[in-house]
């Protein structure tokens, strides 16, 4: 009987030891998970602080597709001074000037026609890029050469890649005609610049955040 009791006690001690080990492992896993979450949260907060301070690098890209073999790619780079540099190349355009804008919606279910109006979070009239009163999405015109190719290089302060007025998830649109920059006297001058049909567009997506 004594031997059986001793064996039973040994089994209970072994079981208790296993339970303690499981608790230690479980608590260690919870601790590691909490550290990871804190590190991730800290990294996110640090990224937000860097962006608010104008530091860090955020990149975005839009692939342009449209009518009559219009295609290209547009790259967006957040710069340390708070501006965004827009660069890229679009082919298949008719020679001449073409209105070039950020539109409010990243929706191409009905082609470029479903991208909505110009991005205009401050509810202003259409204007030129240098105007104080303009849509945030008013980027003026791009010029296509005789070969139908437009090389793009624009720096603008009203199209951030973060914050409440971020252009991420919206659309960049190229139009058939020149943008009159709100000065043409046409009934559409103060809304669209009378830039005509939408011949190409692409949704602006996050490319990297370093």
Assessment of whether the complete model's pTM goes beyond 0.85: no
Task: Please indicate, yes or no, whether residues 64 and 45 belong to a single structural domain of this protein.
Answer: no
Q: What is the dihedral of CA 17, 19, 25, 28, to 10 degrees?
A: -100
Task: Please indicate, yes or no, whether residues 7 and 26 belong to a single structural domain of this protein.
Answer: yes
What's residue 44's pLDDT?
Answer: 41
Q: Which residue has the higher pLDDT, 138 or 58?
A: 138
Query: What pLDDT, in 10s, does the model give residues 102-136?
Result: 999 999 999 999 999 999 999 999 999 999 999 99
136 closest CA partner among 103, 180, 178, 98: 103
| Averaged pLDDT, 35-49 | 51
What's residue 29's pLDDT?
Answer: 56
DSSP strand pairing (84-91 vs 150-156) = antiparallel
How many Å separate Cα 4 from the centre of its chain? 71
Q: What is the dihedral of CA 104, 106, 111, 117, to 10 degrees?
A: 0
CA distance 40 to 166: 22
Task: Please indicate, yes or no, whether residues 169 and 194 belong to a single structural domain of this protein.
Answer: yes
Average pLDDT score, the chain: 86
Task: Please indicate, yes or no, whether residues 10 and 83 belong to a single structural domain of this protein.
Answer: no
- From 38, 53, 68, the end of a domain falls on 53
Both tokens assigned to 182: 């709100």
Q: Which of 8-22, 84-98, 113-127, 148-162 has the lowest mean pLDDT?
A: 8-22
Task: Please indicate, yes or no, whether residues 47 and 66 belong to a single structural domain of this protein.
Answer: no
DSSP strand pairing (171-175 vs 58-66) = unpaired
Task: Please indicate, yes or no, whether residues 113 and 12 belong to a single structural domain of this protein.
Answer: no
- From 53, 79, 97, the end of a domain falls on 53
Looking at the structure of the chain, the number of domains it has is 2
CATH of the domain at 103: 2.60.40.200
Task: Please indicate, yes or no, whether residues 26 and 82 belong to a single structural domain of this protein.
Answer: no
For residues 135 and 120, is the Cβ–Cβ distance under 8 A? yes
Task: Please indicate, yes or no, whether residues 195 and 143 belong to a single structural domain of this protein.
Answer: yes
- For 83, the domain range is 58-209
For residues 122 and 106, is the Cβ–Cβ distance under 8 A? no
Task: Please indicate, yes or no, whether residues 159 and 144 belong to a single structural domain of this protein.
Answer: yes
Spatial neighbors of 104 by CB under 8 A, at least 6 apart, are: 115, 116, 117, 118, 119, 120, 137, 170, 171
Task: Please indicate, yes or no, whether residues 153 and 115 belong to a single structural domain of this protein.
Answer: yes
pLDDT at residue 159 above 50? yes
Active site residues: 101, 103, 118, 126, 135, 138, 175, 198
Task: Please indicate, yes or no, whether residues 86 and 37 belong to a single structural domain of this protein.
Answer: no
Task: Please indicate, yes or no, whether residues 138 and 98 belong to a single structural domain of this protein.
Answer: yes
């Amino acid at each position: 009987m004594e031997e059986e009791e001793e064996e039973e006690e040994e089994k209970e001690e072994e079981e208790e030891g296993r339970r303690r080990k499981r608790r230690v492992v479980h608590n260690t896993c919870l601790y590691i998970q909490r550290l990871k979450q804190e590190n991730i949260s800290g990294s996110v907060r640090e990224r937000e602080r860097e962006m608010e301070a104008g530091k860090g690098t955020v990149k975005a890209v839009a692939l342009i597709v449209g009518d009559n073999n219009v295609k290209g790619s547009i790259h967006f780079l957040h710069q340390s001074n708070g501006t965004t540099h827009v660069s890229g190349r679009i082919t298949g355009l008719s020679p001449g000037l073409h209105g070039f804008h950020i539109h409010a919606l990243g929706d191409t279910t009905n082609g470029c026609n479903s991208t909505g109006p110009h991005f205009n979070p401050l509810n202003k009239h259409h204007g030129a890029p240098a105007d104080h009163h303009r849509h945030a999405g008013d980027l003026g015109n791009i010029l296509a050469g005789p070969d139908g190719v437009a090389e793009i290089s624009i720096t603008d302060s009203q199209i951030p890649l973060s914050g409440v007025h971020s252009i991420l998830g919206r659309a960049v649109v190229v139009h058939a005609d020149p943008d009159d920059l709100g000065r043409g006297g046409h009934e559409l001058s103060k809304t669209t610049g009378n830039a005509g049909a939408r011949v190409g567009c692409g949704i602006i997506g996050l490319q990297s955040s370093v």
